Chain A
Amino acid sequence: MGKYIIRRVLQMIPVLLGTTFLIYLLVFLLPGDPTDGRCGQRPCSPEYVASFRAEYNLDKPFIVQYLLYLGKLLHGDLGTNFYGNTVVSELAVRYPVTLKLAVMAIIIEAVVGIAAGVAAGMRKGKFVDNLITITTLVLISIPVFVIGSLAQLVLGVKWHIFPVTSTNGTFDQLILPAIVLAALNVAYAARLTRTSLVENLRADYVRTAKAKGLSALRTVGIHTLRNSLIPVITYIGASFGSLLGGAIVTERIFNVNGVGSFLFRSINTQDGVSVVGTVVVLVFVYLVVNLLVDILYGVLDPRMSRD
C-alpha cells in the first residue's frame, strides 16, 4: 500500500509541472504585452506595469521566469491584482462557501446517484430502469446554466420552495444551488452504478454466493454492491473537477459569493491576475482530489494496491 501511494504521488508530479507550465506558457508567453488587459478597461498605470514586470521577472529568460513563477506558487503566492489585493486573500474569504456548496453537491450526488443506479440496475429492462435511464440522459444533455436558471425560475420564483438567491451562503440558501450543481453528476453516477451493478450481477462470484446458499439480499447487498461501487466512488471523487467548473455557473446564477463568482467577476472586470490565479488553484485542487481518489481506489480494490 505504501509503495502504491508513493508511486501515485510520484506520477502526479510531472502532470502538475506540465499543467502549470502549460498555463504559464499560455498566459505569459503570448505575443503582445502581458500587462495588456490586466487592469480592466483602462490601460495599466505605469507603476503597475513596472511592478508587474518585476514580479514576474519578465526581463529574464523564459525558463527562469517559469521556475521563479513555480517557486512563488509553491510559496502560495498567486500574485497581486491591480486593486492591490493578493489573489490568495481574495480566495481565502470565498473558499468556505464554495467548499460547503461542493460538499453538499457531492453528498447529493452520492446518495441520489447510487440509489437511482441501484434501482435501475436491479430491475434491468423494466420500467424503473427505462425511466431512470431516460431521465439521466436528459439531465446529462441540459447544460448546468440552463438547469440552474430553470430551477431558479420554477422552484424559486414561481413556487417559492427555495430562496431565489443565496447571497449569505447559509445552508438553506445553498440547497438549491447544490442540487443544480450536482444534477449532471447525479446522472453520471446513476448510470455508472447501473452499468457496474449489471456487470457485477453477471460475475462468477455471484454464482458462487448463490451456491453458498446466501440470501438474495446478502448476495447483492454485500458481495455485488461492494464490487460495483468501486468505480462509482472513484467517479464521484473525480467528478470534483466538473463540480468546480459548474460552481462558476451555479454561483453566478444564485449569486453565491464564492470562488466561482469571484472568477466570473474577474473575467468581466478583466482582472487577469485573479483569473489565472484562481484557475491555477482550481486545477491544483482538482489534481490533488484525483490523487486522493486514486489512493482511495487502492484501498477499496485490493487488486490495485498489489506491489
Chain B
Amino acid sequence: MSDSEHLLEVNDLHVEFRLRDGIAKAINGVSFYLDERETLAILGESGSGKSVTAQAIMGILDSPPGFVTGGEVLFQGTDLEKLSPKARAKYRGPKLSMIFQDALSSLNPVFPVGWQIAEMFRVHQHMNRSDALAKAITLMEKVKIPAAKERVRAYPHQFSGGMRQRIMIAMAIALDPWLLIADEPTTALDVTVQAQIMDLLKELQEESGMGLILITHDLGVVASVADRIAVMYAGRIVESSDIRPLYANPLHPYTKGLLESVPRLDQKGQDLLAIGGLPPNLLAMPAGCPFNPRCRYAFDKCRAGEPPASEEIEPGRTAACYLAGRLEGAHA
C-alpha cells in the first residue's frame, strides 16, 4: 500500500434498483475516500442512498433488485467490484465489516449470541468450537457486556437494545477489520445509551486504528465523532466537508436546511425550520437539481437539464450547487 493510497476510495459509484414499476436510480455517481483512523459521517434522509452506498461497498446489496452499474470501490488499492463474489466474501469480516441499525432483527433470533460471534472465527479461521467460544467471551468483555461468561449462551431477545448493539459490534470487530461501517448504529437506542455506544466505537477505533464510516441522519451524533462529513441527497453527495467549517458555513441549501432544523446550544431563541416537502421519488426524479422542489433558493437553472456537478469551493470542501458559498446573499 503506497502512501498516496487511501484505505477506501469510492469513485463514481452508480447503483440502481430494477423494480417492477421501473428503474430506481438509488446512487448516481458517488465519490469519496477514507483513511485509516479517520471517521467519515454520511448524512442523509432515508431514501437518500446512504445505506445503499454502504451495502454496495460491502458487496451485500440485495441483488436483484439492486445492481452496481458503474464506478469502483478501491479497498487498499484493490477494486472490490472486480473480484468474484467468493473472493469478495473473504474480505467481509477480516478486512471490512458492518453493523446495522436494528440489532434485534439483525441478529439471528434462534442462535445464542456467543455462537453468532464465534461463527466469525469458525468460518474465517477454522477455529474449533471451544476456542471460538472462548474468543467470543473475550470479545463480549471487550465491548463491556457484563457477566459475559454467563451470558454467552443467551439469545438476542434476552438482551437490552444497547447490549444487543454491543454484541453486533463485538461480532463486527472480531477479526480486527481495517474498516467498520456503522449504519445508523444508535438510531433505535435511548439517548444515554446512544452516547455509550458512540464512545465504545471511538475507543475501539483508537485502539485498532480502523477507519470508520458512520451513516446517520442525526447531526448531533456527527458533530461529536466525525472528522469529515458527506451529505447525501437523492443518491448524490451534495456537500462534502471537514466537520468544523460545515457547521459554521454550510455550502449547500440542503445542508443549511438540515442545520436549521436542529436546535443549537449556542444560539438562543432561534426559529427551528423544518425542510418543507418530501425527498423525491427515485422513479420520477425532477429535472435539474433533485433538491429544487424543496429549495428556497432555486432559480430557473436549477429546474432544467442535468443536476449541478460537484465542485471544490474551498480547500477540502466540495458542493453540488450553483450558489455554493453564496447562500447568505441569495434570497428566494
Min CB–CB distance B212 → chain A (angstroms): 15
- Interchain CB contact (< 8 A) of A208 among B86, B90, B91, B106: B106
Q: For window 155-203 of chain A, which residues contact chain B by CB distance below 8 Å?
A: 202-203
User: Measured between alpha carbons, how far is A300 from B60 in the docked complex, in Å?
Assistant: 28
Q: By the criterion CB–CB under 8 Å, are B119 and A205 in contact?
A: no
Q: For the complex formed, measure the closest distance between the CB of A231 and the CB atoms of chain B, giving whole angstroms.
A: 12
Q: Cβ of A205 and Cβ of B93 under 8 Å apart? A: no
Interface flags for A214-255 (1: CB within 8 Å of B; 0: not) read: 110010000100110010000000000000000000000000
Q: Assuming the A-B contacts A212-B123, A214-B119, are A205 and B105 also in contact, with contact meaning beta carbons closer than 8 angstroms in the complex?
A: yes
18 A-B pairs (CB sep. < 8 Å): A204-B106, A205-B107, A207-B100, A207-B106, A208-B106, A208-B107, A209-B108, A211-B92, A211-B98, A211-B100, A212-B92, A212-B97, A213-B92, A213-B93, A214-B89, A214-B119, A226-B111, A230-B110
A210 lies within 8 A of B92 (CB): yes
| Residues of chain A within 8 A of B110, CB atoms compared | 226-227, 230, 300-302
B81 at the interface (CB under 8 A from A): no
Q: How many A-B residue pairs have CB under 8 A?
A: 77
- A303 interface residue, CB < 8 Å from B? yes
Q: What is the CA–CA distance of A259 and B313 in the complex, to the nearest angstrom?
A: 86
**Nearest-CB residue, chain B, relative to A205:** B108
Q: Which residues of A contact B109 (CB under 8 A)?
A: 205, 227, 301-303
Query: How many residues belonging to B are interface residues under a CB distance threshold of 8 Å?
Result: 32
Q: Which residues on A sit within 8 Å (CB–CB) of B111?
A: 223, 226
| Bound CA span A203–B105, Å | 7
- Whether A218 pairs with B107 at a CB distance below 8 angstroms is no
State whether A212 and B106 are in contact (beta carbons under 8 Å apart), knowing that A204-B100, A207-B60 are contacts in the complex. no
State whether B60 touches A210 (Cβ < 8 A): yes
The chain A residue sitting closest to B95, CB to CB, is: A213
B159: CB under 8 A from chain A? Answer: no
Hey, which chain A residues are within 8 Å of B97, CB to CB? Answer: 211-212
Is A75 an interface residue, CB under 8 A from the partner? Answer: no
Inter-chain pairs besides A207-B60, A208-B106, A212-B92, 13 sampled, C-beta below 8 Å = A204-B100, A204-B102, A204-B105, A208-B100, A211-B58, A212-B93, A212-B119, A212-B120, A213-B91, A226-B110, A227-B109, A227-B110, A306-B157
Asked if B155 is an interface residue, CB under 8 A from chain A, the answer is yes
With contacts A211-B92, A213-B91 taken as known, whether A227 is within 8 angstroms of B108 at the C-beta atoms is yes
Given the known interface contacts A205-B108, A208-B108, the answer about A213 and B102 at a Cβ–Cβ threshold of 8 Å is: no
CB distance from B73 to the nearest CB of A (A): 15
Q: Select which of A202, A208, A213 is within 8 A of B123 by beta carbon.
A: A213
**Contact: B108 with A213, CB < 8 Å?**
no
In the assembly, what is the distance between CA of A211 and CA of B59, in Å? 8
In angstroms, Cα B100 to Cα A306, docked, is: 25
B18 at the binding interface (Cβ < 8 Å):
no
Assess whether B124 is interfacial by the CB under 8 Å rule.
yes
